[in-house]
Copies of this chain bind each other. A is one copy, B any other.
Amino acid sequence: MPNHRPLRVVKQITTSFQKEQCRCYSAPVDSAIPSNKVKYVPTSGTYPKGFRVSATHVGVKPSNTSKPDLAFIASDIPAAGTAVFTMNRFQAAPVQVSRDILNSRHGAGIRSVIINSGCANAVTGKGGLEDARAMARTASSMFDNQSGNDDSVPNSVVMSTGVIGQRLPISKIINNIGTAYANLDNSHEAWLNTAKAICTTDTFPKLLSTTFTLPGPAHKGVEYRMAGMTKGAGMIHPKMGTLLGVVCTDAPITPNALRALLQTAMQATFNRISIDGDTSTNDTLAMLANGAAASADTPSIQPKDEACEHFLPILKSFLYRLSDLVVRDGEGATKFVEVRVRNALTVLDALSIASSISRSPLVKTALYGKDANWGRILCAIGYSQLESPESINPATTNVSFIPADNSASKDEGVLKLLVNGEPELVDEERAARLLEDEDLIIDIDLGVGEQAESYRFCDFSHEYVTINGDYRT
């Protein structure tokens, strides 16, 4: 049963002075992966050709004496690169620097992504910008000699994650980039350790890999590969870019096609998840394509050509699974909930309602408490910011719970809670059984139009408060 997190105990205890309402819980005391999350960590992978990665200990946080906190993802040959960034008005220094680099290079000739955890280098003023540029320049210098690349624009994307408002220990980072370069490797262990190095409050590394083929004679017989890593686990709510993520593929893709592909594929995937409604200052999702699996004369994928159209759903599916892992590891999360809003008048209103539900502290705490308190779902629908007030008609609104594991053991199927604005007589025992599962689908049928949107989100637990009340200390 995946609804307990043994290493982060939330259990009932009874004492003489606090009756049954007393519970005991703790923040994680080591970096062991919770036993119910181990299944999400791959034990092997199919990693793209021509990419090598490494994880190096720097000690960005002085308290970190051994955990690797510098991730280096490098391509052996110049690659196309693109990224989507947070829409937060306070964009962290690495966001500003990476955007400038990708723009200046028109997404071409990218050699690496360098990432530190432990400090976000956000709201750090002019000094912070200098630090981010120094990281990018130093990472780039590792490749300059080989590739004969002597232009002044760095060829490395830079990312940081951690506490906002503190300066990076930039000398320590710079001094370790040579080691990070020397340790580059293409083994499964190297990829997994690199995914670990970008974690902050995450409880498990988020790494996926897959293989795929492309249509057309030029791609015949070629197995392409893709690998991606991402991190959570708080300050997550969509606004174009979300959190940190890096995806690498050895397919040949032009910078223009890569940009269009990532911007389209992230919308229904990374841009439809919420942990706490806070959009971070550092969100960056980058993608590199180096073409290393293709022969030298294979034409690169161009925008809208056959291979591009074929690749888009592959990328979407990959990003969907990768972003799933972020929600699975939401800070303190015990639930994985998909809310589907159907038959809305407009896409934006469907989205606003899904967002409103996924942000509501009252919905999220009820889910944590395994309480089928659907009134709070209605309430959150009712205060959504809408384009058109007609998007909500109480008399046509339907709310149901659907078991995510809609299998024989759950053959009772959909549990209707509200039908055309009238409450159903709910079988509370059945509702309680549904809420025992880690996974749940909340289905909202607005009954006024034809548009649909969905969001994936997690619950709000005591542990979220513990993690975020004590984060800096």
* Interface set of A (CB-CB < 8 Å, partner B): 9, 13, 15, 18-19, 21-27, 29, 87-91, 120, 122-126, 163-167, 234-235, 237, 239, 276-281, 359-362, 365-366, 368-369, 371, 373-376, 378-386, 389, 392, 394, 397, 417-418, 421-423, 460-462, 464-466, 468-473
Contacts and interface: CB of A to CB of B under 8 A. Distances in A.
Nearest to A367: B469
Nearest to A362: B278
A365 B464 contact: yes
A21 B332 CA distance: 14
Contact of A25 (B23, B280, B381, B422): B23
A243 B471 CA distance: 33
A397 B123 CA distance: 10
Given A376-B164, A469-B366, A29 B18 contact: yes
Contact of A235 (B234, B276, B362): B362
B379 A466 contact: no
Contacts of A366: 468-469, 471-472
A368 B423 contact: no
Given A90-B394, A279-B379, A465-B365, A25 B22 contact: yes
Q: Which of A25, A87, A394, A473 has the most CB of B within 10 A?
A: A25
B471 A165 contact: no
B369 A165 contact: no
The residue among A23, A123, A368, A473 with the most chain B CB atoms within 10 A of its own CB is A123
Nearest to A370: B469
Contacts of A468: 361-362, 365-366, 369
Contacts of A25: 22-23
Contacts of A279: 379, 382-383
A470 to B, nearest CB: 5
Contact of A163 (B22, B24, B122, B373): B373
Contact of A24 (B18, B385, B421): B18
A174 B255 CA distance: 72
A22 B26 contact: yes
Contacts of A392: 89-90
